[in-house]
Structure formats: structure tokens, C-alpha cells
Amino acid sequence: MMGLFKKDKGESVDWKKLESEAQLTEFIALSRHKPIAIFKHSTRCSLSSMVKSRLERAWDINGNDIEIYYLDLIQYRDVSNKIASIFNIEHQSPQLIVLDQGEVLYHASHGEIDAGVLKESIGK
């Protein structure tokens, strides 16, 4: 399946949308079989857009190794709040959270979001 955003080389980010608390519950269960990442993005924030773009350009992780989900914080703030509550992680924007076995494996926000560190965190 082609991602929403394609780059010229390597892997593309195959963004899947996260839009409900029910989906979040499904994704937490999915993380017991495969790591998942959730990118929390504010569509009104230029810093968030810059970090998202940098992540897309640096992405070289095979889609078989991780699923990545895109959460629009403006439309789905309740889902972001649920993530903060479940995993006891302060809400940030932008923010990247990686779940493995139903637990937070890695999280970063703002300029600390790095595709290379993400790749290392999942052992790829």
C-alpha cells in the first residue's frame, strides 16, 4: 500500500490515520504482535509541520517492521488526551510514541523526534 507521502528514495512513511479511542484500543492490542508508532501532529503549528517533514525525509524503516499512525490533534484532541492518560505521558505536539507489547518503548517530542533513534528503539 502506498503511503500518503512518498519520497524519492528508500521507504515511504505509510501513514495510517488514528481518529478514535476505539482505534487506539485496537492499536494497543496490535502492538503485542508488531511495534506501532503514533505521531501526534498539530496542523496549526509550523514546528510540528517541520518535524513531520523531517521525519518523512529521514524515514527508512520497512513497513513490515512497524506500523505508523498519524493523529491530527486539532480534530482528535480527545484521542491524544486518552493516550496521555493511558500511558502517563504528558501531551506534547509534535510527539512520537512507540508501543511494543502494549507498553511505551520510546517517546519523544519536538526536535528530539528522530527516525534513526526510532529505528534503533525497535532493533532494526
Say yes or no to pLDDT of 9 above 60: no
Mean residue pLDDT of the chain comes to 88
* Number of neighbouring beta carbons within 10 Å of residue 95: 26
Residue found by looking up cell 503485542 in the block: 32
Residue 7 lies in a domain: no
Question: Which pLDDT value is given to residue 62?
Answer: 87
Structural domain of residue 113, as residue ranges? Answer: 16-121
The per-residue pLDDT for 29 is: 96
Tell the burial category of 3 from Cβ atoms under 10 Å away from its Cβ (0-12, 13-18, 19+). middle
More reliable by pLDDT, 6 or 71: 71
Would the pLDDT of 116 be above 50?
A: yes
Residue 8 falls within a domain, yes or no? no
CA distance 100 to 119: 13
* For range 89-109, the mean pLDDT: 93
Q: Is 1 domain-assigned? A: no
Choice between 121 and 78, residue whose per-residue pLDDT is larger: 78
Q: Among 16-25, 61-70, 75-84, which stretch is predicted with the lowest mean pLDDT?
A: 61-70
What CATH number is associated with residue 72? Answer: 3.40.30.10
**27-41 residue pLDDT tens:** 999 999 999 999 999
* This prediction's pTM: 0.87
Is 5 part of a structural domain of the chain? no
Closest by alpha carbon to 123, among 103, 106, 102? 106
pLDDT at 4: 45
Does residue 6 form part of some domain?
A: no
Residue tagged 528508500 (cell numbers): 10
Has residue 9 been placed in a domain?
Answer: no
H helix or E strand, kind and range, residue 116: helix 115-121
Domain total for the chain? 1
Per the domain annotation, does 2 fall within a domain? Answer: no
Q: Is residue 4 part of a domain?
A: no
Residue 97 CA: distances (Å) to CA of 8, 13, 74, 82, 88:
26, 15, 18, 13, 12
